[in-house]
Structure 1
Amino acid sequence: MTMSWTLAVARDDLSRTALSELAVPECGAGEALLRVDRVGVTANNVTYAVLGESFHYWDFFPAEPGWGHVPLWGFAEVVASAVDGVEVGARVYGYLPPAGHLVVRPDRVDPRGFRDASQHRAGLPSPYNSYVLTAADPAYEPDLEDLQVLYRPLFFTSYMLADQLADNGFHGADVLALSSASSKTAYGAAFLLKGTGPQVVGLTSPGNVAFAESLGCYDRVLTYDALHELDATAPTAYLDLAGNAEVRGRLQRYLGEWLVREEIIGVTHQDRTGAKELNGPRTAVFFAPNQLRKRVEDWGREELDRRFAEAWLSFVPSVRGWVDVRAQQGPEALRDVWLEVASGRSEPRVGNIVTF
């Protein structure tokens, strides 16, 4: 193969895309070349794009001014390497660009994988710079690659969110209300939170109520128009995975002082104001790597990995019945899937996988 490709989106209009063909990058000294093989596209990737500036997601895979390469989770194959311990033919899991290839500068290489020490990624959160070798990953199973691509990065956020809430006594809340209840991150968190004490309520659009209820993760599911059915005198924490400022405003007005905490987790509605207008000490943007760092200090990395693996393996049997994997092939298919997911037209049961 002599050609590669990239898919860029306009930073100010995520529906505007540019699919380009280019030469396969060369692998220099101290570098390895990955061929992108399989990626997933979810609402989480839309969040990366919406928060690309403020959270530096655009910085992972630089593009031309005004454009961005949306980070994707997936699998890649090492096709060239000038680094000891990174062998051609090895398969890795990690953060990938919407492109045919990625040049990395492996550092901290060990049997489990490596980190990309490329200069432009030096100041970015370390969890996104890690590449795991599948041959040494105890949680890896070839027939579960699609589920890993679609859910594992989201479930990591779900796990850290649930852990942060428990770690802080649920901020005194008796009710945990999650918006975008049909999204994978939301129901992963609900799966972990149900039965821990507070009532877990899912908020969603009318068309997704039946799906959210079918998951069995929520004690109760309400539409956004039925916020008044929440107990107005129960201490409530709002976990905002939709980023819809209008819904937030109505909830703030309805609950008043009984809204004891707001956590902004995702922005699937592409309403940037939902993430930027942080009014008051009870409102915060949740960033999973922050809780990760705390738990590494509290428990050590090995114990954190053990606890996460235990939670992940308990989640996988349930999630098999919650998703219909839709696999497509090629850069054009990736563009079509991106436009569908970014516009909110993707069905909640559908898990979009693209191979190359």
Structure 2
Amino acid sequence: MTATWTFAVGRDDLARTSVTGGSTPALTDGEVLLRVDRVGITANNVTYAVLGESMRYWEFFPSGLGAGWGLPPLWGFAEVAESTIAEIKTGQRLYGYLPPAGHLVVRPDRIDDSGFRDVSAHRADLPSPYNAYRATIGDAAYRADQEDLLVLFRPLFFTSFMLADQVADNSFYGAEAIVVSSASSKTAYAAAFELHGRGPRLIGLTSPGNVAFTEALGCYDQVLAYDQVSDLAAVPTVYLDLSGAPETRTGLRFHLGSQLIRDIAVGLTNRIPNADAAGEVFFAPVQMRKRRQDWGRDGLDERFAEAWHRFAAVAQGWVDVRLGQGPDGLREAWLDVLAGRTPPRTGRIVQL
């Protein structure tokens, strides 16, 4: 057994936090112990917590602390600390879905050169993309000097890549303009990066304080503050809603009327669920399954890696990494991101 710790948040109050110590369980045959090494905290992780009940995100990593506590899933890198499986070697570095904790026990299956899937019983009927752990060796998207970018952007960029692909795959829904809310967020501007110059005019909506940053990205043809919705041209428009702000949707519907031809909820950054109010909901794994059928797994991986390297070459100039250490650093980063105290240029990374 190995000494470890766990960071948990209150399910009904995400600002209520707890760090508890403990020991890892002894491994049984077929199990592997991962040491969580380097993770990121973004608005995406807050989204997982906000939707923890409805989308079952709390179920990936049971807290063991009772129903009032949950472990918000994080993305990052881990190393194999102990293994009972010959194909998985101690020291192997992996990227994937991780708990805010020192360690994670997984039960690997479908093991190959690219990594494995965790088939632990409690994860068996949860969305499969979150159960994949990718080995850094042989990963076309991986570069050691870009680990922090991968931690901060890769899960978001996959959503952005699939979102942009779905929009393009549907001939941009016949739109002349695409309006993106929360335009300064990483998911939004990564999708805009993919879409820019390929079809309709791209307009980003953001808070007044983030207009200058968002304009400087160069991903949008126009950037407006939320209170400038009435300045939008009345042309066939698709709305990609990443903010979940009801007043923005109301303003768009009032101003554009029938010219608002698609209203798609992508996520939320201000903790107001937007799925029910939108016309439809985008869920990346659905488009991913379609493209795996169209292109095959290797084809999808190749296209994603090509898009990622194009994006990473530019995105490294858009983010300033702020590094925290250990459970205290994790708690500080969580509370800052939860409260919206993290500027759009800042990426929160925690070395555990």
TM-score, with structure 2 as normaliser: 0.97
2:109 paired with 1:107: yes
Q: How much does 1:24 deviate?
A: 2.5
Q: Distance in 2 between matches of 1:141 and 1:193?
A: 25
The equivalent residue for 2:120 is 118
8 Å Cα contact 2:140-2:305 kept in structure 1: no
Residues 179-258 of structure 1 mapped to structure 2, 5 A cutoff: 179-231=181-233, 233-258=234-259
AA partner of residue 48 (structure 2): Y
The equivalent residue for 1:71 is 73
Q: Distance in 1 between matches of 2:251 and 2:62?
A: 38
- Percent of aligned positions that are identical: 61
Q: How much does 1:139 deviate?
A: 2.5
Please give the secondary structure, in 1, of the residue aligned with 2:270.
coil
Q: Distance in 2 between matches of 1:117 and 1:80?
A: 17
2:263 paired with 1:262: yes
Q: Distance in 2 between matches of 1:176 and 1:167?
A: 15
Residue of structure 2 aligned with 1:308, choices 284, 304, 313 = 304
The equivalent residue for 2:59 is 59
The equivalent residue for 1:50 is 50
Please give the secondary structure, in 1, of the residue aligned with 2:235.
coil
Q: Distance in 2 between matches of 1:318 and 1:16?
A: 37
How many residue pairs end up in the alignment? 350
Residue of structure 2 aligned with 1:94, choices 80, 96, 119 = 96
Q: Distance in 2 between matches of 1:24 and 1:129?
A: 20
Q: Distance in 1 between matches of 2:53 and 2:247?
A: 22
The equivalent residue for 1:6 is 6
Q: Distance in 1 between matches of 2:141 and 2:165?
A: 21
Q: Distance in 2 between matches of 1:286 and 1:172?
A: 18
Please give the secondary structure, in 2, of the residue aligned with 1:276.
coil
2:298 paired with 1:297: no
Q: Distance in 1 between matches of 2:288 and 2:140?
A: 20
2:327 paired with 1:326: no
AA partner of residue 267 (structure 2): G
8 Å Cα contact 2:181-2:206 kept in structure 1: yes
Q: How much does 1:179 deviate?
A: 0.6
Q: Distance in 2 between matches of 1:163 and 1:39?
A: 27
In structure 1, runs of 5+ residues without a counterpart are none
Please give the secondary structure, in 2, of the residue aligned with 1:225.
helix
Q: Distance in 1 between matches of 2:55 and 2:321?
A: 29
Please give the secondary structure, in 2, of the residue aligned with 1:211.
helix
The equivalent residue for 1:173 is 175
Q: Distance in 2 between matches of 1:34 and 1:73?
A: 14
AA partner of residue 308 (structure 1): F
Larger mean CA deviation between 250-259 and 182-191 belongs to: 250-259
8 Å Cα contact 1:240-1:265 kept in structure 2: yes
Q: How much does 1:84 deviate?
A: 2.4
Q: How much does 1:62 deviate?
A: 1.5
The equivalent residue for 1:335 is 331
Cα deviation code 1:18-62 (max 9, x no counterpart): 221111332221100000000011111111111222222111112
Q: Distance in 1 between matches of 2:75 and 2:7?
A: 15
Cα deviation code 1:253-309 (max 9, x no counterpart): 22121111111112110013x23334xxxx111110000001111111111111111
In structure 2, runs of 5+ residues without a counterpart are none
Q: How much does 1:336 deviate?
A: 0.9
Q: Distance in 2 between matches of 1:305 and 1:222?
A: 35
2:33 paired with 1:37: no
Residues 130-149 of structure 1 mapped to structure 2, 5 A cutoff: 130-149=132-151
AA partner of residue 268 (structure 1): T
Q: How much does 1:72 deviate?
A: 0.5
Q: Distance in 2 between matches of 1:319 and 1:117?
A: 34
Q: Distance in 2 between matches of 1:252 and 1:342?
A: 29
Q: Distance in 2 between matches of 1:57 and 1:245?
A: 24
8 Å Cα contact 1:182-1:212 kept in structure 2: yes
Query: RMSD between aligned alpha carbons?
Result: 1.2
Q: How much does 1:2 deviate?
A: 4.3
2:14 paired with 1:21: no
8 Å Cα contact 2:183-2:214 kept in structure 1: yes
8 Å Cα contact 1:179-1:239 kept in structure 2: yes
8 Å Cα contact 1:115-1:131 kept in structure 2: yes
Q: Distance in 1 between matches of 2:20 and 2:276?
A: 33
